[in-house]
Amino acid sequence: MKILLVEDEATIAVTLTDDLQAAGHEVVHLPDGARAISRLAEEVFDCVITDVRLPGADGLDVLKAAKRARPETEVLVMTAYATVEHVVTAMRAGADDYIQKPFLNEQVLDRLARIGRVRALIDENRRLRADLRGEGGLPGIIGQSRRMQDVFKIVRTVASTDASVLIQGESGTGKECVARALHQLSPRAERPFVALSCGALPETLLETELFGHERGAFTDAQRLRRGRFELANGGTIFLDDIDDMPLQTQVKLLRVIQERAFERVGGEETIHVDIRVVSATKVPLLEHVRLGRFREDLYYRLNVVPINLPPLREREGDVPLLVQHFVRKLCNGRSYTVKTDVLEAMNGYSWPGNVRELENHVAQAIAMAGDATVLKKENLLPVDKSRRAALEPPTELQSLREVLVEAERGHLKKVLRSVGGHRTKAASVLGISRKVLWEKLKDYGIE
């Protein structure tokens, strides 16, 4: 790593330079702020370590110059005056961390090692972004982890076929993104991609959405309406939350898959379609088959090619890449940075809501940023009582959100115990759908 050390105390400068060079870093030492600012305008550095009190120009001016020249440059501020005001001012100006004097050189080396690990991930991510549409990635999907590379390989292998694909993954993992990639890489790419969530509609409306209806088929059917299968003719239909599909509708779906034919609700004319079927489930569908909730014959028709989409907590190294992607996607033309220690903390969080939750927090951080260019940790990381001590200073006070979350988690456990773990009964007692209950259990990590 190439480092600019700005320090006017010779003892500190000499010993720290020696230790940094011994650790393999390239070090340029300057004793005053004015010369450092001039050097930053001419030369690129990976990291700047600067004192606050300097001759020529102070350390905050050096910090601002470093961020102007190259926003991704990491800046560590050294100060013997580490009052809250000094720290807040430095952080608002874009400092990535601060070190209070006197310090051990090992502390600086530890911080640089952490910066190096995250920078290595980001550099690798940049190389992979250029290849997203090549062999390494898929259109519309971000990921470099081994688990995602396995998914990419399967998608590229089967995209050119008409084989039915069943995507299994937790809520928020990006199942529709994988379905769209399958379509975009297939010979059907110029034809329609039609998506429908089977869990979002009651049974009667679901059949109408899938198969359409004739005029007069029921009271509100004032005109003929084509269903999703008809609209997808020649292309791909994506059936999300297939595990929520009622058994009666499953029978009709089986016929469409077998014969590529169906009748509209209230109609007699048989309509033939040329489609590819891609479906997704948030739960192990074979377990539904064993419990009699899903037809076995339909399961095997849908599960010709299975794709298991990993949760974000199992995608090693993908979080920093996704954060950078969402910052660019949501920045509205502005430039934002995320500090190294925050990226590291985000990389270590479990993200029960997966990629969807991560994107939500990036959007929140940008919305709350105001005029600042550095996104705040408290907006990028969820408030999780089990990790609170690692993320914030210890305190006995709790936010209203924490209290509500803790109360809801406790009530869910209480109801589940009272009904012997029966989820359908629990959902009924709570007055919510099975789908909403399932998502809450996953969010709170309740088995």
**pLDDT above 50: residue 387:** no
CB 305 within 8 A of CB 154: yes
- Alpha-carbon distance of 269 to 360, in angstroms, equals 46
Q: Which residue has the higher pLDDT, 402 or 168?
A: 168
Residue 272 vs residues 190, 223, 255, 258, 262: alpha-carbon distances, Å:
20, 21, 11, 11, 7
- Alpha-carbon distance of 357 to 264, in angstroms, equals 38
The arithmetic mean of pLDDT across residues 379-406, rounded, is 56
Phi-psi region of 212 (alpha: psi -120 to 50; beta: other; left: phi over 0): left
Please enumerate, as own/partner, the contacts of 158-162 that have beta carbons within 8 Å and a separation of 24 or more. Answer: 158/182, 158/305, 159/185, 159/186, 160/185, 160/186, 160/187, 162/276
**pLDDT above 90: residue 188:** yes
C-alpha dihedral, 122 to 128 to 133 to 137, nearest 10°: -100
* pLDDT class of 351 with cuts at 50, 70, 90: very high
Q: In the structure encoding, which two tokens stand for residue 327, read together?
A: 């910052």
Over the Cα atoms of the chain, what is R_g? 28
- Could you tell me which residues are beta bridge partners of residue 99? 78
Of 120-129, 137-146, 332-341, 387-396, where does mean pLDDT reach its minimum? 387-396
- Could you tell me which residues are beta bridge partners of residue 279? 166, 239
The arithmetic mean of pLDDT across residues 47-55, rounded, is 90
Q: Which residue has the higher pLDDT, 252 or 84?
A: 252
Confirm whether pTM is higher than 0.95. no
The pLDDT tens digits for 419-438 are: 878 888 888 888 788 777 88
**pLDDT above 80: residue 295:** yes
**pLDDT above 80: residue 335:** yes
- Could you tell me which residues are beta bridge partners of residue 261? 272
Taking residue 100's Cβ as centre, other Cβ atoms within 10 Å add up to 14
Residue 52 vs residues 33, 75, 209, 348, 433: alpha-carbon distances, Å:
9, 12, 65, 32, 57
- Alpha-carbon distance of 246 to 199, in angstroms, equals 9
**Residue type at 246?**
P
**pLDDT above 70: residue 290:** yes
Per-residue burial over 279-294, b = 16 or more CB atoms within 10 Å of its CB, e = otherwise: bbbbbebeebbeeebb
Number of residues in the chain: 447
* pLDDT class of 322 with cuts at 50, 70, 90: very high
The pLDDT tens digits for 71-125 are: 888 898 887 765 556 667 777 777 877 888 888 888 889 888 888 777 776 666 5
Q: What is the pLDDT of residue 3?
A: 93
Place of tokens 């989409």: 309
| Cis bond before residue 102 (omega within 30° of 0) | yes
**What domains appear along the chain, each with residue ranges and CATH number?**
2-103 (3.40.50.2300), 146-308 (3.40.50.300), 313-391 (1.10.8.60), 400-444 (1.10.10.60)
